[in-house]
Each structure stands twice: as structure tokens, then as C-alpha cells.
Chains A and B, each alone.
Chain A
Amino acid sequence: MDEQEKPLSLVLFSGTDDKLNAAAVLTVGAAAMGRPVNVFLQYYALDAFRAGRVHADHALSPEATREQSPVVRAHPGAHWSDLLQQAKEVGEVNIQACALSMDMFHLTRGDLDPLVDGVEGVAAFMASVGDGQVLFV
């Protein structure tokens, strides 16, 4: 993994546990395969990263049907916060809170879980993205 890999850049907007988990799986996979990962937390995703609330119930996406919801909830996979922690241990993962969303929810840096590396504006995030793709979750 010596060659420079293209970064994976994720904008997390949704704050439901299923979407956060799907995004965390992508993050840990990319990190394991040697790709740097940029994560930008906006709106409801940012709210899920508040200190002390990471393990709260963040519900499921509206597309989860009544039949699917219990199946998703019963699955014994790792929590998204644990997957992100593993991703940071094996690779280069930078998780930034969107400054606008911080302002919207009246949050300061100290209100966020230590998984979050900092607060930045959208232009700084785009600078990290470079000419790579952005996935919006």
C-alpha cells in the first residue's frame, strides 16, 4: 500500500443508524484498502455524533419497511461508531463537522464525540476531496 491511493469522500447527511452504519462500512473498507477517507458531517448526521449520544437510538431510514426494521435492528454487526474507530486504526480517516451545521444546532467543538477530528467549512472539505468523487449519504 505504498502508492498514493485516491481518497474516498463521504458527506453524511442522514442521521439514522442504518445509513450511518452503511457509511461506516464503506469507510472501514476503504481505509483497510489503503484509501484515505474524508467524512463531512452535516445536519442529522452531525447530531448523531454529539458527545454521549453516539450509542443512542437514531432510528432507521423511512425506506425501512415494517418487516425489514426488526431484521436490521436484530443484526449483530458492529455499531457504526466502532467501525469508524477501527477505520481510524487501520487507515487515514478524517472526520470533520460542517461549520454551518454546527451553527444551526448551536454546537461547539466540545459538544462532539472524540471521533470527530475538527470543524471545517465546505471549501476546506472540497480542498480535501481534490478531484475525487463525493458520495452523499
Chain B
Amino acid sequence: MNNTVQIDKTIDARGMACPGPLMNLIGAIRQGEVGQTFDVLSSDEGSKTDIPAWVAKAKHELIEVRPDAGFTHFIVRKVR
């Protein structure tokens, strides 16, 4: 983890089927506060398209998409 972004909450959705990781992110963002940063860990291929599409639609900020060993990190900031 050489990122400079401070993560407020990690959502480990590895192993969950589509659209589970996205739904977990939506739930966490709803409960979170504006400005908080979330790190979604997902091994679901659908997340690679779903999470960016939802984040853009919901007008939050996708800070980083970073591949890891067998999964991907999606760093998202709650903007509103």
C-alpha cells in the first residue's frame, strides 16, 4: 500500500458475486459521511465496470482503481 490517500473504511467484498461488491459500497456510502474514503476490495469482474459507472452516476469521486493479487481496489470518496 504505497497510496497517499487515507482510507476511512475498507469493504472486503472479495469472493462476492456481482453485484454484491457494488451493493456493499452503496450501503457503506449511505451510512458514511461526506469526505470519507472507502476502499472496496473485489474479485468480481463486473465491479470493474459497475463501480466506476455507479460512482459517476451518483456523483462521488473514484480516486483510484488498483489491481492487487487476484482482486482490485476501488478507492472512492463520498462527495455529497
Contacts and interface: CB of A to CB of B under 8 A. Distances in A.
A77 B22 contact: no
A78 B17 contact: yes
Nearest to A77: B17
B20 A78 contact: yes
Contact of A33 (B18, B23, B54): B54
Contact of A25 (B19, B27, B54, B59): B19
A25 B20 CA distance: 10
B26 interface: yes
B17 A32 contact: no
Given A1-B57, A1-B58, A32 B18 contact: no
A128 B20 CA distance: 28
Interface residues of A, number: 15
A28 B57 contact: no
B53 interface: yes
B20 A32 contact: no
A106 interface: no
B57 A90 contact: no
A9 to B, nearest CB: 20
12 contacts: A1-B59, A25-B19, A28-B23, A29-B19, A29-B50, A32-B19, A33-B57, A77-B17, A78-B20, A89-B27, A90-B23, A90-B27
Interface of A: 1, 25, 28-29, 32-34, 75-78, 83, 86, 89-90
Interface of B: 15, 17-20, 22-23, 26-27, 30, 50, 53-54, 57-59
Given A77-B17, A90-B30, 12 more contacts: A1-B57, A1-B59, A28-B23, A32-B54, A34-B57, A34-B58, A76-B17, A83-B19, A89-B27, A90-B23, A90-B26, A90-B27
